[in-house]
Structure 1
Amino acid sequence: MAFGALLTLGTLAAHADAIDSLETFVKTVKSGRAAFTQTVTSPPREGQAARTKTSTGSFEFQRPSRFRFVYTKPFEQTIVADGQTLWLHDVDLNQVTARKQADVLGSTPAALVAAAPDLAALRADFDLKAAPDADGLQWVEATPKTKDGQLAAVRVGLKPGDKGPELAALDIQDSFGQRSVLRFSQVEVNPSLPAASFQFKPPAGADVLRQ
């Protein structure tokens, strides 16, 4: 067998492992908790350099379809999916937006890591392709099958853990050229999470917008 063919087979095997790791993660990690740092890079405008902003917070999820993002810096914001409704609370504005979860969650990065019960459910909404390993992580590229949303593509970065593959990063590209990279740390796999983590009640006096 030619050396080039061996390299090709080796690359394919490595890529297959990335898809296998994502499948194992979805099957075996039923809940999780982590801290995150998110860096958003906006495309450069004419005569200006690209702009970046960094946020930090915490993330919890309970499969299927329940998760909680809490942004603490630089601005406080909470996003909760309770299985029926996706809530977004902007603390500074004291404004809450409520959307029917089934209408907005399918082709989103959250669906990849927290909502889908299995790989078949992901394949219903995304074209999945293994990408080359980088930064010590296995990467899977997911492209939404529907082209009318804001999400262009997302890469899921996984690393080996004591209990199987762990979520390490999300690299998200939207249709406007904006890139958002989330790096996860202090990852806990299958912790027991209270039901209250995925419940949300608009605070008194908040302006509630239902869409």
Structure 2
Amino acid sequence: MNHRTIFAIVLSLAASLAHADGLQDLETFLREVKSAQASFTQVVTSPKREGEATARSKTSSGRFEFQRPGRFRFEYTKPFEQTIVADGQTLWLYDVDLNQVTARKQQDALGSTPAALIASGTDIKGLSEAFDLKAGAARDGMEWVDAQPKAKDGQLQSVKVGFRQGQLAVLEIVDGLGQRSVLSFAQWQGNVAVKPERFRFQPPAGADVIRP
């Protein structure tokens, strides 16, 4: 074996050791990104029904912000307006068309949800209490984490988190009914100052407030 071959092998090994997998990207994200803003597009696809040629899907979009620990805001703007706010104590969901607010205790609502992976978790050890985590195969130019919820309540089947060059890019979620949601993030800005009022919610006057 000549020196050129040995050098090529060493370089190859060094590159593979330096290459981060999805779990390393997730760990870095949890440790280093304390806040963020981004736009998002969500595509929800329902399982095909008998007799249907293709599965039905619907697309929505909006803005997303979070501040660790446990504060975030999803603001859907198209095709319908809807706001989801976690203020650290309560998870608020406001449907503009229905003028209806649903309020739940955040601790009960977020334990094994995708939101916990993004905004509530602070380290891999903490997330491992709610999810079985493993590095997924690289695809579509991204490194992936497969997150299997430990809760057996049937709400979620699986969650996959995709990182592109260390930046959160995609969430793929399959719920208990087989419905698949894909959230793709763009215009990502990490560790930005987010105004505290973005994580406060006051039900609009006249809105019905439901507390399950």
Distance 2:105 2:164 in 1: 33
Q: 1:50 to 1:204 in 2, by over 3 A?
A: same
Alignment TM-score, normalising by the size of structure 1: 0.90
Distance apart, 1:14 and its partner CA: 8.9
Work out whether 1:103 is the aligned partner of 2:112: no
Name which of structure 1's ranges 201-210 and 143-152 shifts more when overlaid on structure 2.
143-152
Structure 1 outlier segments of 4+, above 3 Å: 12-16
Whichever of the two has the greater Rg, that structure is 2
2:134 corresponds to: 129
CA distance, structure 2, for counterparts of residue 31 and residue 118 of structure 1: 15
CA deviation digits over 1:178-207, x for unaligned, max 9?
000000000000000110010000000000
Task: In structure 1, list runs of 5 or more residues that go unmatched.
Answer: 1-8
2:22 touches 2:162 (CA, 8 Å); kept in 1? Answer: no
- Amino acid aligned to 2:187: Q
Distance change (3 Å), C-alpha of 1:16 and 1:185: closer
**TM-score of the pair, normalised by structure 2:** 0.90
Q: AA paired with 1:175? A: G
Contact conserved, 1:23 with 1:118, CA < 8 A, in 2? yes
Post-superposition offset of 1:118: 1.2
Residue 171 of structure 1 is matched in structure 2 by: 172
Does the residue aligned with 2:132 lie in a helix, a strand or coil?
strand
Q: Is the 8 A contact 2:21 2:144 kept in 1?
A: no
Shift of 1:155: 0.4
Q: Distance in 1 between matches of 2:139 and 2:68?
A: 27
Confirm whether residue 70 of structure 1 aligns to residue 75 of structure 2.
Answer: yes
1:46 aligned counterpart, secondary structure: coil
Equivalent-residue separation in structure 2 for 1:118 and 1:41 (angstroms) = 31
Listed as ranges, the matches of 1:32-181 within 5 Å are 32-48=36-52, 49-160=54-165, 165-181=166-182
1:11-44 Cα offsets, whole Å, 9 max, x none, are x969972211100000000000000000000001
Shift of 1:75: 0.6
Give the residue type in structure 2 aligned to 1:69: F
CA distance in structure 2 between the partners assigned to 1:118 and 1:90 by the alignment: 32
Give the distance between the partners of 1:103 and 1:14, measured in 2 at CA.
Answer: 39
* Secondary structure in structure 2 of the residue aligned to 1:147: coil
1-structure distance, mates of 2:157, 2:187? 28
Distance 2:154 2:69 in 1: 22
Matched residues in 1 for 2:118 and 2:200: separation?
19
* 8 Å CA contact 1:15, 1:131 repeated in 2: no
Query: Which residue of structure 1 aligns with residue 9 of structure 2?
Result: none
**Corresponding letter in the other structure for 1:27:** R
The yes-or-no answer on 1:26 pairing with 2:34 is: no
Do the aligned partners of 1:40 and 1:53 also contact (CA within 8 Å) in 2? yes
Contact 2:149 2:157 in 1 (8 A): yes
Q: Using the alignment, how far apart are the partners of 2:124 and 2:20 within structure 1?
A: 14
* Equivalent pair of 1:16/1:130 in contact (CA under 8 Å): no
Q: How far off its partner does 1:129 sit?
A: 1.0
Q: Secondary structure at the match of 1:124?
A: coil
Counterparts of 2:18 and 2:58, CA distance in 1: 34
Partner of 1:3: none
Corresponding residue of 1:190: 191
